[in-house]
Amino acid sequence: MSTPTRILFVCLGNIIRSPLSEKLFEHVANEAGVGEKYEVDSAGTSAYHIGELPDERMRRTAKRRGFVYGGSARQVKASDLDAFDLVIAMDMENMNNLLRLARTEEQRAKVHLMRSFDPEADGAVAVPDPWYDGPQDFETVYDIVDRSVRGLLRWLEAGASAPE
């Protein structure tokens, strides 16, 4: 068996967008029968929430849709840029933080925006952070992440060389 493709999803605090992306990608890949081909993780560019569970509001949103997940927040490390094949940032701020952390062009080439895999992005580059928003915003973010992880899986399974 070949070495799994390692994917790291990154947002600011690693409690809303990136853990949802990690667990939803894992779920979608397993549903498609290709879960063994991928290893996924998530991290935050900040240290605000290290060790915390994913945000309760997003877990409630996911649960209403029949998806239950957990996890524990951690901060991204420079070594992650070597350890992972793809590093998926939720927005430009996090992407820029990751690119500053990168030491080589090879590491920089691994960093992509999550919405580049969203077939409905229509020019939008960020998965919005619903931290200060209401329940409908968490629903919207869930939809964006769901479309994006499915798009990412399609892209990977098609063997594409760069996001569209």
Catalytic member of 91, 118, 129, 146: 129
Burial 109-138 (b: 16+ CB within 10 A, else e): ebbbbbbbbbeebeeeebbebbbeeeeebb
pLDDT at 57: 97
Residue 162 has pLDDT above 70, yes or no: no
Distance (Å, whole) CA 72 – CA 45? 14
Domain count, the chain: 1
Residue 160 has pLDDT above 80, yes or no: no
Task: Judge whether 11 counts as a catalytic residue.
Answer: yes
Q: pTM value?
A: 0.96
Task: Judge whether 147 counts as a catalytic residue.
Answer: no
DSSP states of 40-87 as a string?
A: EEEEESSSTTTTPPPPHHHHHHHHHTT--------B--TTHHHH-SEE
Task: Judge whether 143 counts as a catalytic residue.
Answer: no
Residue 147 belongs to domain spanning: 5-158
Please report whether residue 11 resides in a domain.
Answer: yes
**CATH code of the domain covering residue 70:** 3.40.50.2300
